[in-house]
Amino acid sequence: MEEILHLVYEMSPYLLLGFLFAGLMHAFVPAILYHKYLGGNTFRSVFNAAALGVPLPLCSCGVIPTAMSLYRQGASKGACVSFLIGTPQTGVDSIIATYSLMGLPFALTRPIAALVTALLGGQLVNWFGGGDARQQPTLSFAEKEERPSGFWAKIKLALHYAFVESMQDIGRWLLLGLLIAGVITVFVPDSFFALFADNTLLSILLVLLCAIPMYVCCTGSIPIAIALILKGLSPGTALVLLMAGPAVNVASILVVQKVMGRRTLLLYLSAIIIGAVAFALGIDYLLPREWFTSHLEAIHSCHEHGTPLFNIGCSLLFFLLLANALVRRYLHKDGCHCGHHHGEGETCHCHTHSHEEEENILVLHITGMSCNHCRTNVERAIASVSGVESVTVDLPTAQARVTGSANTDEIRQAVEAIGFSIG
């Protein structure tokens, strides 16, 4: 428990700053920019997707529907795979958190590795991914995006996104990562990892085998990677977890195969595996180990001399914000189940309808949603269907309430096109 609390003490100031930057990006950078420059089977579209995705604070599950919506609206397969690989590996929040706990070399290596593997995966799909028989897009989800116009309204949106929505999406996975790190530190004997200490390639392949199907966000993977290094595994092996853990999981594998085909899936996985192994071997054999371990040793040296009050205060604030976000999501403390943010004193009218309106309301159960990004993409997908007047999606109950005269089959197709299904 002491090791987990120490990690939180070190991470909390940077986590708060990272969440704030994520909120500011969400509020001030229009989503249409991420939809505009990704068409065509060219290196330029692949590069644009990687460059836009690497700093974007999207979790490992939220990136799946976002990439599928980009694909539906005309982005090439190569660009979408580039976005899928590069975006979940890193982000402005995780870069800051990585710097705080693992030092500058790791903080620089993560976005570089994400960019390179994203470019590799996108180009492999452009070269060998085959044709694309999609119908042409009819409506961009980003064009329907509603954002406040005033500066202070955007600041309010940024704070809500940063410290409510993002914490709802990432917080539970971060806590899980801390718990796994604690379990590794306390219960796994050093002798177990000593078996792989002299065989870097074997340890890399072992971690890769565990990381590919596992769901872990880019921030939640940090404490696990630290635990592996402290147990004696190489920095390159830890980087494999930081890359492959967030970049791919069972959910993304199933969605890519369903929407883009088996060939694209194989190229997508190949790029992640080749990139992770290449960067891991490069770090372990070409760069001094001290670059990647000295910061961890310094942190543990400081741990022996106590924790600054500032870090303790930030940790308390982080836990309070996290508790508030999770209570609002799972216990519905705010009394609104629609998933939307309502201002102070406002009443939610999302589910209030007259008897006449009920005749035009369709209630659907959406399977596969796990975060607010998923909910938002489902809402945009359904809203793009002809005949839909309004739609609200409730994340905790996984229900969508659709008002209008839209065809159910068309709604189903729109939802399935971004990787979800209607139960």
Which of 338-347's residues contact partners 24+ apart within 8 Å by CB, and which partners? 338/392, 338/393, 338/394, 339/372, 339/375, 339/392, 339/393, 339/394, 339/395, 340/392, 341/157, 341/160, 341/164, 341/165
Judgement on whether residues 280 and 376 belong to the same structural domain of the protein: no
pLDDT of the residue at 342: 47
In a domain, 343, yes or no: no
pLDDT reported for residue 274: 96
Per-residue pLDDT of the chain (423 residues; tens, 9 = 90+): 666 676 677 778 877 887 888 788 778 877 666 566 777 788 999 999 999 888 887 777 778 777 877 787 678 899 999 999 999 998 888 899 899 889 999 999 999 999 999 999 999 999 998 766 554 444 444 455 566 778 999 999 889 988 888 888 777 777 777 777 777 767 777 666 666 666 778 889 888 988 888 878 888 888 889 888 888 889 999 999 999 989 988 878 888 888 788 999 999 999 999 999 999 999 999 999 999 988 877 665 555 555 678 888 988 998 899 888 888 877 754 444 444 544 444 444 454 443 344 557 889 999 888 788 888 888 888 988 888 988 999 888 889 999 988 888 999 988 888 888 887
Range of the domain at 114: 2-312
Q: Are residues 111 and 229 in the same domain?
A: yes
CATH code where residue 404 lies: 3.30.70.100
Residue 133 lies in a domain: yes
Same domain, 53 and 116: yes
Domain limit, last residue, from 287, 312, 337: 312
Domains identified in the chain, total number: 2
Q: Which residues contact 252 (CB under 8 A, 6 or more apart)?
A: 60, 63, 64, 84
Q: Do the domain assignments include residue 125?
A: yes
Residue 381 and residue 306 share a domain: no
Whether 255 and 398 map to the same domain: the answer is no
Query: What pLDDT does residue 299 have?
Result: 63
Residues 177 and 299 in one domain: yes
Structural domain contains residue 321? no
The pLDDT assigned to 83 comes to 92
User: Residue 219 domain-assigned?
Assistant: yes
pLDDT of res. 109 = 96
Contacts of residue 405, defined as CB under 8 A and 6 or more positions apart, other chains included, come to 360, 387
Domain boundary among 277, 294, 312: 312
Both tokens of 50, joined, read 């990687």
User: Does 325 fall in a domain?
Assistant: no
Q: Looking at the domain assignment, is residue 52 inside a domain?
A: yes
Is 210 among the domain residues? Answer: yes
The whole-number pLDDT of residue 411 equals 92
Residues 26 and 137 in one domain: yes
Q: Are residues 235 and 165 in the same domain?
A: yes
Q: What is the pLDDT of residue 29?
A: 73
Residues 295 and 169 in one domain: yes
Task: Give me the pLDDT at residue 351, please.
Answer: 47
Residue 216: strand, helix, or coil: coil
Q: Are residues 242 and 381 in the same domain?
A: no
Residues 47, 157, single domain; the answer is yes
Dig out the tokens for 282 from the structure.
Answer: 């490069």
Query: Could you say which of 312, 337, 365 is where a domain stops?
Result: 312
